[in-house]
Amino acid sequence: MARLMSDQLKYELAQELGISEVVDREGWGGVPSRECGNLVKLAILRAERALAQNGGGGAY
């Protein structure tokens, strides 16, 4: 299975969402599914911003 996000990026996002203490204490399995969804949303938002800054809106 391919890794889509590095562990470092996931942890940065967890810190931004305020759930890094849960990850430290219980691992990723202790993170509620709602927070996992929020983590994915934040990752998508960052990716969209990066594409917009780099002019990544090319045609297919």
Q: Could you tell me which residues come within 8 angstroms of residue 56 by beta carbon, excluding any fewer than 6 positions away?
A: 50
- Could you give the CA distance from residue 25 to residue 44 in angstroms, rounded to a whole number? 26
pLDDT of residue 59: 54
Percent of the chain with pLDDT over 70: 87
Mean pLDDT value across residues 34-52: 94
Does the predicted model carry a pTM greater than 0.85?
no
- Could you give the CA distance from residue 60 to residue 58 in angstroms, rounded to a whole number? 7
pLDDT of residue 54: 85
Confidence of residue 17 (pLDDT cuts 50, 70, 90): very high
Which helix (H) or strand (E) segment holds residue 49: the answer is: helix 33-53
pLDDT of residue 36: 94
Mean pLDDT value across residues 46-60: 79
